[in-house]
Homo-oligomer: A and B are copies of this chain.
């Protein structure tokens, strides 16, 4: 770690000017790019990334990977425990329209009887290092959230590692930064997540069927999605993948006699892989919810199924942070200990004394907390003064029950440079920034009420942002792709 910090600090403006251009070109050549909404269709722009990998403790890196099968299993078991799911979300569905719509789809599918009882999950659990309150300079790993739908960047993360390996091999030699293949762990995220799709495809067991990738109208993060598709194709050229938007699907989907999902009257769908459908604005209206419902009613394997998707609600995350609840889903006591160790403080804001107490606590020290709605993906959360204003605004309404309160994590600052498209490091006078890292672990899980067929960690992701900025969505322009330098 120290050697890397020294390297970052030792580079001159001249060095950095050349390295910046080289790393940007390397990244562009590797498809670390976005397709911007207002650009011509065959023109792409650099995705923000850090110039160097960021130091990350090997102990916590390994722990996150070891934990992932447990994280997968808990989501899976909740998704197949109807009573728990319904009870947990009972109040949320009254106040959060999006969760209510999802729950309604779930209810209708259940009432009819599930044509496909097996679900596929390509999940990602996000963590940060959190400074221990004892002042000893130590850090714990704390879970920020678990994403159960449209988890992004598993297709780009391995390429970021390659870029960083190149830059350290070429410019870090004099800095004695150690054995790069040990410091920069191989990341198999693309391959392992693709393997999840293939597993579900084979489970469906119809050689003429396709994988349907449901996508947004304008796909900024296209190369991440394509990397997974191309990886599926490389190992299984027999599997056809088709991409469709909700708008394209509206008049093009129907159910067959055995509730097969049929697209364009010719493609039977084995797997529905959602790369949209996670936010209210992804649905143009009821007609798109009708499409979602039809797909969920079908015998195609959904990634994720509506019940997997529901387990990603913040409300579930908050309820599960309780030890008694974890014990309900996890048998081994050491596993329970491991999970409890990564949960940050989480509080529901239900009407009543407990919720009132949580709100008072947050208003007393608003900088210690974050207020989160039920969405996945960044950009919706309230911090500090905004949190206080929002709590004041909602404390006497039912709306407060649609939020959860979470203890803010205090990650270490590390020096690095963030490369932003069409902006030179010269704009920051070539000074390193203090950045903070978010560490994601991908996971694949497939199963039904009777058994878990697949349960594995599936690689990792580091995204970083300038210290002091609260949101870190890379595609949203808040953060940068990064990779770990283990120490």
A residues neighboring B (CB under 8 Å):
18, 22, 24-26, 28-31, 33, 39-46, 166, 169-170, 173, 222-223, 226-227, 229-230, 233-234, 237-238, 240, 242-243, 421-422
Contact = CB atoms under 8 A, between A and B. Distances in A.
Contact of A29 (B39, B170, B230): B230
Given A41-B422, A44-B44, A25 B223 contact: yes
B422 A43 contact: yes
A39 B46 contact: no
Contacts of A30: 29, 31
A18 B213 CA distance: 13
B31 A233 contact: no
A237 B181 CA distance: 14
Contacts of A240: 170
Given A18-B242, A28-B33, A29-B33, 16 more contacts: A22-B229, A24-B42, A25-B222, A28-B44, A28-B223, A29-B227, A31-B31, A33-B44, A40-B45, A40-B422, A43-B43, A43-B421, A166-B230, A166-B234, A169-B233, A170-B233
Contacts of A243: 18
Nearest to A27: B42
B45 A45 contact: no
The listed residue with most B CB atoms (<10 A of its CB), out of A41, A45, A170, is A170
A325 B40 CA distance: 53
A162 to B, nearest CB: 10
Contacts of A234: 166, 169
Given A29-B227, A45-B43, A242-B18, A237 B170 contact: yes
Contacts of A242: 18
Contact of A237 (B28, B173, B422): B173
Nearest to A46: B42
Give how many copies assemble into the complex. Answer: 2
Nearest to A26: B230
A45 B39 CA distance: 10
Nearest to A242: B18
Nearest to A30: B31
A375 to B, nearest CB: 28
A227 B46 CA distance: 17
Contacts of A29: 30-31, 33, 223, 226-227, 230
A260 B477 CA distance: 47
Nearest to A234: B166
Contacts of A238: 173
A404 to B, nearest CB: 38
